[in-house]
């Protein structure tokens, strides 16, 4: 059987390494009490809101996210 192209092989290896960790994370999440789940959700919402606020301020100042790497036109 021919070897898969490099990106496909890399993706396959990455998926095989990540799958057990993702499964365990899901199992732990499912075992958490509902109050703990809500606490994590609230922290994630708050962090996302802080990020949006910082980005909005930077954009108003003329900043914003950095330009992607590569040659500039």
Domain count for the chain = 1
**Residue of 17 and 62 predicted with greater confidence:** 17
Query: Is there a domain that residue 68 lies in?
Result: no
Query: Is there a domain that residue 35 lies in?
Result: yes
Report yes or no: 55 and 65 within 8 Å, Cβ to Cβ.
yes
Query: Is there a domain that residue 16 lies in?
Result: yes
Query: Is there a domain that residue 24 lies in?
Result: yes
pLDDT tens digits, 29-48: 999 999 999 999 999 999 99
Query: Is there a domain that residue 15 lies in?
Result: yes
For the entire predicted model, the pTM comes to 0.58
User: Distances from the Cα of 48 to the Cαs of 35, 45, 53, 64, 68, in angstroms?
Assistant: 20, 5, 9, 16, 22
- What range defines the domain where residue 29 resides? 6-50
The predicted structure's pLDDT at residue 36: 97
């Amino acid at each position: 059987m021919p070897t898969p192209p490099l990106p496909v092989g890399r993706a396959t290896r990455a998926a095989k390494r990540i799958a057990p960790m993702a499964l365990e994370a899901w199992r732990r999440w499912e075992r958490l009490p509902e109050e703990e789940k809500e606490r994590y959700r609230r922290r994630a919402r708050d962090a996302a809101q802080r990020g949006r606020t910082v980005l909005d301020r930077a954009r108003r100042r003329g900043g914003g996210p950095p330009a992607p790497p590569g040659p500039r036109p």
